[in-house]
Amino acid sequence: MDVPAYNAIMNTPLPRSSPEAQGISSRAISAFVTALNGIDSVHSVMVVRHGHVVAEGWWAPYQKQDTHVLYSLSKSFTSSAIGLLVDAGKLALTDKVVSFFPAETPADASAHLRAMTIHDLLSMSTGHVTEPALVRGENGPLTWVQSFLTHPVVHAPGTYFLYNSPSTYMCSAIVTAVTGMRMIDYLRPRLFAPLGIQNPTWETSPQGIDVGGWGLRVSTDDIAAFGQMYLQKGMWQGAQLLSEAWVARATTSHVSNAPAATEEWQQGYGYQFWRCRHNAYRGDGAFGQYCVVLPDQDAVIAITSGLAGTMQAPMDAIWEHLLPALGASAVPESPAEHQSLKAQLAGLRLAPVTGGGSANGAVSGKTYTLAENLSGFATLRLECAPDGDAITVATATGEHRIALGHGRWSMGETQLPPQAIPFSSVASPIALRHSVAASGAWEADGTYVAKIWWNHTPFARTMTFRFANNRMVATQIANANMGLLEGPVLRGWI
């Protein structure tokens, strides 16, 4: 397919400005950041007003250059790929889903399945009452497309809302069927490169198709640029990346998703975008990944997080602290308040482990053989040193060592997954090596606490080791998870 010839100037970063020059006070943004700082836990924030970044910050050990797993915020990028094909005349929203997969459509396909369109996929109104099983081996020998197409379609498409990530996977599969390439490769010259998104990665299904509904990893700057392009109705630095008509359609509610729209997730659903209160819209992902667009206030807020609880808290902070302060004209400069805000943003950090216990030299360097456990750990060793400690675990893939800073974060890499119970049913270019930041300390005599952030993801794991009489028991607690927060207890002996 033809690739647009975009100007090199288009991928220049968003300009920076003082908040006051763009009609919002540094004091209001500081109050917003303080509110975010009280949420467990936000990883980054960027506020854009009138096309200028007026505030940006990362909670150490997360850093500006880090990319971050987006979870369902990925869906908004998948929607954009469909939009590009619609704009190019290669797809129509009324195209039937089964028309792209004749070899994988069941011979006895129901009338509802045969009626399902791309519009229904995008608006989460496929007619399913449960999600088709795709991952964790639940679909047996079927491909992910076959698993979707054999799942019962109970309602007429377009009449029933069900948030349904497999629908987004089908959008990605359609992009591949039409273009002959992975969706990430189709987007690279048409969206990612113009926006300056340099190193995106996307998880794939076992069939090599980008999963679409989750699995994209980009930076906070990239999220902000994406939101700004949508705010500008598809325009980016002099070129129309997406048509104004597509942006309007994608961000308009097409289906009611609640009987009474009183909460943030009950404002209606567009094409892989959620409607918000205050005439705003957003892409969002599990554990607090946000791209919030406020057209009436000409503002974009990008946030990445590892939220342990409700995802409503960051949205409430936007409405409470930012929305009332987004004025129509510039406000008087306040150098002192601006400097205070910059210092606040520069000093954001997630607390490392600190302890008051005495180091137990008797356990340092000793290898503990572990009882069989779902984490897949065979042995574990804690090494203690004045300048920092380390944990080494052995699995079927070899030994994995993570350095632990004393009262600070020690940066490193590991092949250990962030989930305490690993699974590998989704092929992923980002699952082989993970960046980690870790710290540890003796909390009390015989008790050692380590915290590890997989800092391109929302996830951390706190491990508490208790040593006595050549025995060790270790608990594992996640900050956030799709399932249980408690991981398998590790029991070992010398």
36-53 pLDDT tens trace: 999 989 999 999 999 999
- Residue 275 has which token pair? 């409607």
- Residue 38 has which token pair? 């009280």
pLDDT for 350-396, tens place per residue? 999 998 877 777 899 999 999 999 999 999 999 999 889 999 999 99
What is residue 259's predicted lDDT score, i.e. its pLDDT? Answer: 64
What is residue 436's predicted lDDT score, i.e. its pLDDT? Answer: 97
- Pairwise pLDDT comparison (101 vs 265), residue with the higher score: 101
What is residue 428's predicted lDDT score, i.e. its pLDDT? Answer: 42
Lowest mean pLDDT among 69-83, 123-137, 150-164, 229-243: 123-137
What average pLDDT does the segment 436-454 reach?
Answer: 94
What's the chain's average pLDDT?
92
Residue 5 has pLDDT above 60, yes or no: no
Confidence of residue 139 (pLDDT cuts 50, 70, 90): low
What average pLDDT does the segment 193-203 reach?
Answer: 96
What average pLDDT does the segment 391-414 reach?
Answer: 95
What is residue 263's predicted lDDT score, i.e. its pLDDT? Answer: 75
What is residue 23's predicted lDDT score, i.e. its pLDDT? Answer: 97
- Residue 373 has which token pair? 């456990």
Amino acid letter, 460: A
What is residue 118's predicted lDDT score, i.e. its pLDDT? Answer: 98
What is residue 430's predicted lDDT score, i.e. its pLDDT? Answer: 41
pTM of the predicted protein model: 0.94
Query: CA distances (Å), 298 to each of 164, 233, 242, in order?
Result: 31, 12, 18
CA gap 242, 237 in Å, rounded: 12
What is residue 429's predicted lDDT score, i.e. its pLDDT? Answer: 39
What is residue 358's predicted lDDT score, i.e. its pLDDT? Answer: 78
Confidence of residue 102 (pLDDT cuts 50, 70, 90): very high
DSSP H or E run through 451: strand 447-454
469 touches 461 (CB < 8 A): no
Length of the chain: 494
Confidence of residue 157 (pLDDT cuts 50, 70, 90): very high
Residue 226 has pLDDT above 90, yes or no: yes
What is residue 425's predicted lDDT score, i.e. its pLDDT? Answer: 40
What's phi and psi for 249, nearest 5 deg? Answer: -70, -40
Q: Which structural domains are found in the chain, ordered by start?
A: 8-346 (3.40.710.10), 367-493 (2.40.128.20)
What is residue 57's predicted lDDT score, i.e. its pLDDT? Answer: 98
For 255-328, strand residue ranges (E) read 274-275, 281-285, 289-294, 299-305
pLDDT for 307-321, tens place per residue? 987 899 999 999 999
What is residue 468's predicted lDDT score, i.e. its pLDDT? Answer: 92
Measured at the CA of 209, the angle between CA 204 and CA 213, to 5 degrees, comes to: 65
